[in-house]
Structure 1
Amino acid sequence: MTLLDVTDLTVTYPGGAAAVRGVDLRLDAGQKLGVAGESGCGKSTLALALLRLLPAGTKVTGRILLDGEDVLTMRWGRLRAVRWAGASIVFQGAMHSLNPVHRIGDQIAEPILLHRGETAAGARRRTGELLEHVGLPAARASAYPHELSGGQRQRVMIAMALACDPRLIVADEPTTALDVMIQAQILRLIEQLVAEQDVGLMMISHDLSVLADLCDRLAVMYAGRVVEEGPAREVHENARHPYAAALSAAFPRIGDSASRFAPRGLPGDPPDPAAVPSGCAFHPRCPVSVDGCDTVAIGLREAAPGHRAACVHVPEEPGAATPASGDTKDARSTP
């Protein structure tokens, strides 16, 4: 069953910066979708748009169907009910998301009291259950955020996201600034909770390897667009868009001495959302661009069953010829 269906979503901030441009995404219940890209590619803007959490004056067009209802046309009362109960967000940086002057138990209980109509005693009981569910003792409900470690605070954020049994969880860089051991624990916890509760998960990260390990499908964003989408491991190991390939190659791989000693990066930065290059936005940084990449924007093309990429080097139809290697600006191979 389709839980989230995003169609032609465009988000333009006041001043004209288009941070998300024509994004199409689909997520089924019980499925884990990863969204990857460098900082500035539109990932967090996409997450905020799903529940209309963007600043006043931001223009949002397209369609966001959550369990068949369009979030963008919901009345305020209905939207307020959908937040937490229908969908919730785990924000990056738990220390900045938690209120430092309130006990964590009170912060977890707040949405339970507001959205589930529980009594104070019922909310306390539910809070203890949630803390234990994410691997913390119920007694930690009396602690303040500064009394917890980074990993414990992130567990609190996950407990808050689960407080009202949402159908969709959006996790925006939930393991940022955590050491690798705690990161692994948090990722396994998220995976376990998704499986147990049959919720949909949208996981946002710049780390393609983490998403490939955790998620079923992966969408790679660049300059506000999805440039590649498909099975997570397939996209990570056999990326067809040069940008997705560069992201994958930027991380050393165990057992691959060449990547360990010389991991490949990508020069330059994503473009300013207010001044996106014409044609394929990646062409100024692309080592395999050809004539026309600076003028023609290629849509997503079928690279393999269920795997699409927005690149001229992906044939439009099975059997179609790709541009000759001599037509490229640079003879280097795809990163």
Structure 2
Amino acid sequence: MDEILLRVRDLRVAYPGGVPAVRGVDLELAAGQRLGLAGESGSGKSTLALALLRLLPPGTLVTGRAELHGQDLLGLPWGRLRAVRWAGASVVFQGAMHALNPVHRIGEQLAEPILLHERGVRRPAARRRAGELLEQVGLPAARARAYPHELSGGQRQRVMIAMALACSPDLVIADEPTTALDVMVQAQILELLGRLVGERGIGLLMISHDLAVLAETCDRIAVMYSGRIVEEGPAGSLFTDAAHPYSAALGSAFPRIGDPAARMRPRGLPGDPPDPLAPPPGCAFHPRCPSARPECARSDPALTAAGPGRRAACLLVGAGPAGPHVPRGLEEEEGSPA
């Protein structure tokens, strides 16, 4: 069995004012594995990721455990946590233009974590390493002298990936790494990230609202809704044969190009995610669920086995195979053009 790199147990996050954002999440990530975290905006994906390295704003209440190599990150003193950041686990932040310092050259920003975390490394050596990192992500070493505004969006995202790998961490958290990039650059960034992670044997936690991207990039996918994991399983089977109606709705929101048998258009999901301060009774998804039953408003199911290596939090799982679900009123009529 592969070594468990990251183990999350009963993670709960509440923002100031008691606003719950993550509600009892359990996750495991093996060394060298790629785990996708999917869900709509507001489902708690980024909050969960930032909570792992305690990057949330002051006043946020975080409970539970988040173990990296068996060491609980949530209980570490600040001095030891600082040593883990970048060297043990790093983040590719969403929106590279906002994550990079606009008044410092790219090379200086790449050299900074190396100087902070690697003893005995002098500035000239750190600068050389910065140039090597840029070349590894497909940029000329000379771009180290550029400022962030002199780079394109795709180039800035490559810099963020290079920075995340600067100190050879065991875990990389990629928070929407292809946001605002065109599809060609997006494909290049995803291929680059997957290749570098594979070459180095790094664990990857990749966050996205796009289930199709995660299915192509990751080994496993966990789907979040209203701060909870509602389904988890192998990427391919979860995307093509979801056990939870919400996972199926996410998959139906994107076209399957090149699959004439699918004959489907992207479909929306009616309604809005629930108010975290006033969640509905029972299953949080039941007001929007096309397969909801009366008992769904009374029971909030836990994750249960839904096939080989799969779990889903849905009453339909216990009643038999749920299969893919299509929101009512959004099905394509038989014989409609693809």
TM-score bracket for this pair, using the shorter chain length? over 0.9
String of CA shifts for 1:23-53, please: whole Å, max 9, x gaps: 0000011000000000000000001001001
- TM-score norm. by structure 1 comes to 0.93
Q: CA deviation at 1:149?
A: 0.7
Match of 1:243 among 242, 246, 249: 246
| Stretch deviating more after TM superposition (264-273 or 40-49) | 264-273
Secondary structure of 2:316's partner? coil
Q: CA deviation at 1:213?
A: 0.3
Match of 1:209 among 187, 207, 212: 212
Match of 2:291 among 288, 292, 296: 288
> What residue number does 1:111 align with?
113
Q: Assess if the C-alpha contact under 8 Å between 2:268 and 2:330 holds in 1.
A: no
> What residue number does 2:15 align with?
13
> How many corresponding residue pairs?
325
Take 2:151 and 2:320, find their aligned partners in 1: how far apart are those partners?
A: 57
String of CA shifts for 1:80-119, please: whole Å, max 9, x gaps: 0000000000011101111111101101111111111310
> What residue number does 1:326 align with?
none
Q: Assess if the C-alpha contact under 8 Å between 1:209 and 1:236 holds in 2.
A: yes
> What residue number does 2:185 align with?
182
Secondary structure of 1:53's partner? coil
Take 2:110 and 2:165, find their aligned partners in 1: how far apart are those partners?
A: 9
**Residue 331 and residue 186 in structure 1: after superposition, are their counterparts in 2 closer, same or farther (change >3 A)?**
closer
Correspondence list, 1:29-68, <5 A: 29-68=31-70
Structure 2 portions without partners, runs of 5+: 333-338
**Residue 298 and residue 135 in structure 1: after superposition, are their counterparts in 2 closer, same or farther (change >3 A)?**
same
String of CA shifts for 1:64-88, please: whole Å, max 9, x gaps: 0001100011011100000000000
Take 1:136 and 1:255, find their aligned partners in 2: how far apart are those partners?
A: 32
String of CA shifts for 1:211-258, please: whole Å, max 9, x gaps: 000000000000000000000011000001000000001111124569
Take 2:248 and 2:225, find their aligned partners in 1: how far apart are those partners?
A: 12
Take 2:321 and 2:145, find their aligned partners in 1: how far apart are those partners?
A: 62
**Residue 305 and residue 56 in structure 1: after superposition, are their counterparts in 2 closer, same or farther (change >3 A)?**
same
Take 1:26 and 1:34, find their aligned partners in 2: how far apart are those partners?
A: 12
The one-letter code matched in structure 1 to 2:4 is T
- TM-score norm. by structure 2 comes to 0.93
> What residue number does 1:163 align with?
166
> What residue number does 1:327 align with?
none
Structure 1 runs of 4+ aligned residues shifted over 3 Å read: 255-262, 320-323, 330-335
Take 2:108 and 2:263, find their aligned partners in 1: how far apart are those partners?
A: 46
Secondary structure of 1:313's partner? helix
> What residue number does 2:154 align with?
151
Structure 1 portions without partners, runs of 5+: 324-329
